[in-house]
A and B are shown apart, each in its own frame.
Chain A
Amino acid sequence: MKQQSIFAEIKTSKTLRNKHKLNKRDIEFFLMIAPAVLLLLLFNYIPMTGLVLAFKNYRVADGIFGSKFVGLKNFMFFFQSNDAWRITRNTVGLNLMFIFINVTFAVLFALMLYDIKSRLVTKVYQTSMILPHFFSWIIVSYMLYALLNPRLGIINNTFAQFKDYNWYGKPTLWPIILAVVYVWKTAGIDLVIYYAGLMGVNHEFFEAAELDGANKFQKIWYISLPSILPLIMIMTILKFGGIFRADFGMFYSLPMNSTLLYPVTDVIDTYIFRALKNVGDIGMSTAIGLFQSLVGLVMIITVNKIAGKIEPDNTLF
């Protein structure tokens, strides 16, 4: 009797162990995921622990965890300065403008391109318009400089009223300049999505509308636009998720680091960079980074919820 129960016990523990024992396939899977898991741990998760610096007065000698705890002082210092409002306004405001103009032009160009039936011509337009996507912001800065150089620039030399006009010292113009450059660089690649959406529209709709005597604008208004509207909404909403992150390369290099332009071109990302590299204020720059990450997280989750309400298939997660 007793022997039997022991036997049974051994048996169950053996099956249990079998269930938990790693077979060859599991070991292979573990080996496969190991490099990525370790790299993410080292370069993504471990830095998150460094966020404690936002609440500390960092000194190299004391190390990250030895430095003195100062509570919310870093945040208070930042939010009480004028900089907080200025860089948040610039980041969010410019991003909003970029999103709006980018979507408008990308959709417009997609509609125009759709109207052109020759494949070769379409291809030529598409290839030229996508070209700016491949330039780095540095090359774009060279191009902008070639146009706006106060003494030698094309615009300054072509239009008499801009002779010796110092663009790099006129902050009020820069939101517009940045928006134009942004659309120029992104519309070509983004219109591809809308163009693909238009290609998917059933041709019979257009033929039926033509039989009913619809003109071109009626066809666009009643068929083309409504069919890509979900696409437009999703693209827009997803872009809203990143509204607290600025494109560092753009804001760092296009204004050529002109301090006169900081009031309108300084964004959260460039501000953190300078606070870190030029000022060396570790505590405050970490605090701003944490502020940016947290608001970004809230934005993405909210936006994802809204996207799910509109089109359940188009959520990020």
Chain B
Amino acid sequence: MKKYKLSISRIINNIILILFSLSCVLPFFLLIAISLSNETDINSFGYKLFPVKLDFTAYSYIFKNPDGLINAYEVTIFITVAATVLSLLVMSLVAYPLSRQNFRFKKSLSFYIFFTMLFSGGLVPSYILNTQYLHLSDNILVYIVPSLVSAWYIIIIRTFFKEIPAALIESAQLDGAGEFRILFTIVLPLSKPVLATVALLTALGKWNDWYNSLLYITDEKLYTLQYLLQRILMDLQLLKDNMVNMPGSAADSMIMDIPGESLRMAMAVLAAGPMIFVFPFFQKYFVRGLTVGSVKG
């Protein structure tokens, strides 16, 4: 190993990388800082990366009326878990025959799956199908069922399954194991890395889903976290109404006092924070997702 030289170019390198890294990390700290600022300070000094003085009013408001946030958390956790588990099951089931040499319809099934990546009916026909024929509007299933199967993830899983030595599968067959048994007791346990990759990619997509809410959901009880945030960003009044459960003029005067700016950011921090600190721990799986699929088969 050569001695580490600190040349000028290397210093410049580090400075640029530090600046870019900071630009990636700081915006979220900015949201935290605003959520901890006093509303009058915000109004007189603007947003600040370091609060003029710490103020937890925004959080105390949310914890007094947490129903909207808790509800959105429940919906989001439910759809993330359900969709990830079901997706993984359905996609592993179809990827396994595709990875086997002796499956008769391998070619035609591959094309059937792959074609959905090349061409689609677009938004409108799907929208009409889901709303008018399947009645999925304001139904939690709309988050889960229509997007269970992804051609791309099937290809990733199938490519991994193919690497499993055929001898293992043949010896299980000689012992009289059926295909389901082989899949669940031999293939899947050996495929944990790819299953983790696909599970995390699916989970991230579901956790950040708000498009389906935007299209299909009007019932506030079925909002996902991101959609709740989107509504609050566009319309601060919605948030204020959410915080006050009183009718008439009493509510009006209370709404005036609500620290809207910091409250909005506090919602963003509480809704996005926890997962943002979880996903980076699984970095290597996301990176694998980028590279593993690029092998054609």
List A residues at the B interface (Cβ < 8 Å): 24-26, 28-29, 31-33, 35-37, 39-40, 43-51, 53, 60, 64, 109, 112-113, 115-118, 124-139, 141-143, 145-147, 149, 151-154, 156-157, 184, 187-189, 192-193, 196, 216, 248-249, 252-253, 256-257, 269, 272-273, 276-277, 282, 285-286, 289-290, 292-293, 296-297, 300-301, 313-317
Contact = CB atoms under 8 A, between A and B. Distances in A.
A26 B104 contact: yes
14 contacts: A32-B179, A44-B121, A47-B120, A116-B13, A125-B21, A134-B204, A134-B275, A135-B28, A137-B208, A154-B30, A156-B46, A282-B124, A290-B122, A297-B118
Size category of the B interface is 35 or more
Given A32-B180, A116-B14, A317-B296, A293 B121 contact: yes
A315 B114 CA distance: 14
Interface stretch (B88-96, B191-199, B245-253): B88-96
A48 B290 contact: no
B161 to A, nearest CB: 12
Contact of A142 (B24, B31, B210): B31
A128 B24 contact: yes
Interface string B269-296: 0001001100110010011001100101
Interface stretch (B52-60, B67-75, B77-85, B127-135): B127-135
A154 B46 contact: yes
The 9 A-B pairs at the shortest CB distance, nearest first, are namely A289-B122, A50-B125, A47-B121, A157-B46, A36-B94, A136-B208, A128-B21, A143-B27, A47-B125
Nearest to B264: A142
Contacts of B226: 136, 138-139
B17 A125 contact: yes
Contacts of A252: 214
Nearest to B125: A50
A160 B138 CA distance: 48
A282 B208 CA distance: 28
A265 to B, nearest CB: 15
Contacts, number: 251
B296 A53 contact: no
Contacts of B291: 193, 196
Contacts of B229: 138-139, 142
Nearest to A139: B272
Nearest to B130: A43
A25 B129 contact: no
A37 B215 CA distance: 25
Contacts of B211: 248-249
Given A125-B21, A293-B119, 13 more contacts: A29-B103, A33-B97, A35-B93, A43-B146, A48-B119, A118-B4, A127-B280, A131-B25, A142-B229, A143-B28, A154-B49, A276-B123, A286-B122
Contacts of A51: 121-122, 125
Contacts of B290: 189, 192-193
A51 B45 CA distance: 54
Interface residues of chain B: helix, strand, loop or mixed (majority): helix
B125 A276 contact: no
Contacts of A135: 28, 272, 276
Given A47-B126, A129-B21, A135-B276, A314 B31 contact: no
Given A143-B27, A193-B291, A253-B230, A36 B21 contact: no
Contact of B109 (A33, A125, A126): A33
Contacts of B127: 276
A146 B34 contact: yes
B268 interface: yes
Contacts of A151: 46
A313 B207 CA distance: 34
B69 to A, nearest CB: 14
A29 B45 contact: no
Contacts of B215: 277
B96 A32 contact: yes
B97 to A, nearest CB: 4
A17 to B, nearest CB: 16
Contact of A152 (B46, B109, B233, B286): B46
Contacts of B227: 138
Interface string B1-31: 0001001011001101110111111011011
